[in-house]
Every structure is written in structure tokens, then in C-alpha cells.
Amino acid sequence: MAPEEKTIYCIEQINLTLNELCKRVDVKLEFIDIQEALCKVCICDESGLVLKCLSAKKMVESLKCYDFNYLKFEILETVVLDESILPSGVPVALNEQIVKSNNQIWEIHKNDDDPKPSNPHAHNRESGYKLDLSNGNLFKKTKYIGSIRKKKLLLIRNKVKNVSLPELCI
């Protein structure tokens, strides 16, 4: 299979897995949740997941004991931006290849079980990135992938109205 065919196949299989798991678990799941869970279970990144060419049946089987309860969190605030604040060239999640949007949505969660990189920090559900609201550093899980400019950090911070933000360190 050509690389593009593998990517399309992986996306289709993740969508089938999503549909199946939504019937089985008491948590609202999204494409990115399945993708991240599979990467954890298979100990790989998104490109490794594509290369594995797993069927939906194998994906469901791999995730049968996976605990999605960590997704039960309360969103304190959602910030919608008219333009992307992500630097050009950062890798995208598989689902970004399907849905392109000028608007970005960043969520700040209450009782986030991961106080890093800042407390609180913002999550971009489409890309899986976490944004340190004190200095603009971007992380994929715990891996530093770059940072946004101060102007862009102030753009998102100025839209946050109901949450106490960490001290600005940039």
C-alpha cells in the first residue's frame, strides 16, 4: 500500500473503532481520543500507527481494557481563535487531514489530572497539543515541540475570562 493509502485506511479504521467504542463506553469519545489511546497502547506516534495498518477489529481489541475515564473532566473555559496560533511546520494529527478549519478551539479543564506544563494549561483537541499559558511552550504529551510568539500567547490569554491564569513568564 502507498503511504497515502495507508493514511486513508488508518483514518477509516479509527473512525470505525470510534463508532464501535462509543457504543461501549460511558464517555464522549472523539477521533483524537482513539488516536491517542492507540498510540499509547501500541507505543508509537501517529506515523507509526499508520504504518501498523491495524484493522478496526484489531484496534477495538487493543483498546478493550483501555480506561477512557480520564476524559470525564469539566471544561472551565473554551477559547475560539479566528486564526491558528500554532507555528507553521508542526506535525498535525491524523484527523486534521480530513477536517480543515480556520478556527482553533482551546480548552482549559478543571481538575486536569496533568498539572504540566502550567496549571492551568490549554488543550487543543484537534491536534492533541498542550499550551503552557505562562510562556507559550507547546507540548505533545510531555514532549516539547516548539513555542508560540508572545503576541499569540497574549491573544489567547486575553480571551480567557473565567479562569485565573499562571503568571506570564515570557
How would residue 85 be classed by pLDDT, with cut points 50, 70 and 90? Answer: confident
End residue of a domain, out of 44, 69, 94: 69
How would residue 34 be classed by pLDDT, with cut points 50, 70 and 90? Answer: very high
pLDDT at 93: 54
Whether the pLDDT of residue 22 is over 80: the answer is yes
pLDDT at 102: 52
Contacts of 39 (CB under 8 A, 6+ apart): 45, 46, 48, 49
How would residue 45 be classed by pLDDT, with cut points 50, 70 and 90? Answer: confident
End residue of a domain, out of 52, 69, 86: 69
pLDDT at 112: 66
Number of domain units in the chain = 2
Inter-residue contact 35 to 21 (CB < 8 Å): no
Same domain for 92 and 63: no
Inter-residue contact 37 to 68 (CB < 8 Å): yes
Give me the chain's average pLDDT, please: 82
- In a domain, residue 167? The reply is no
Same domain for 79 and 149: yes
Single-letter amino acid code for the residue at 15: N
| CA dihedral of residues 46, 136, 146, 131 (deg, nearest 10) | -10
- In a domain, residue 164? The reply is no
pLDDT at 168: 92
Tens digits of residue pLDDT in 107-153: 887 656 666 777 788 888 778 888 899 999 999 888 899 999 999 99
Q: Region of 39 please: left (phi>0), alpha (psi -120 to 50) or beta.
A: alpha
Integer angstrom CA distances of residue 53 from 11, 68, 96, 169: 10, 23, 19, 43
End residue of a domain, out of 24, 50, 69: 69
**What is this structure's pTM?**
0.51
Report the range of poorest mean pLDDT among 5-14, 44-53, 102-111: 102-111
Same domain for 130 and 111: yes
**3-state SS, residue 5:** helix
| Containing structural domain, residue 12 | 3-69
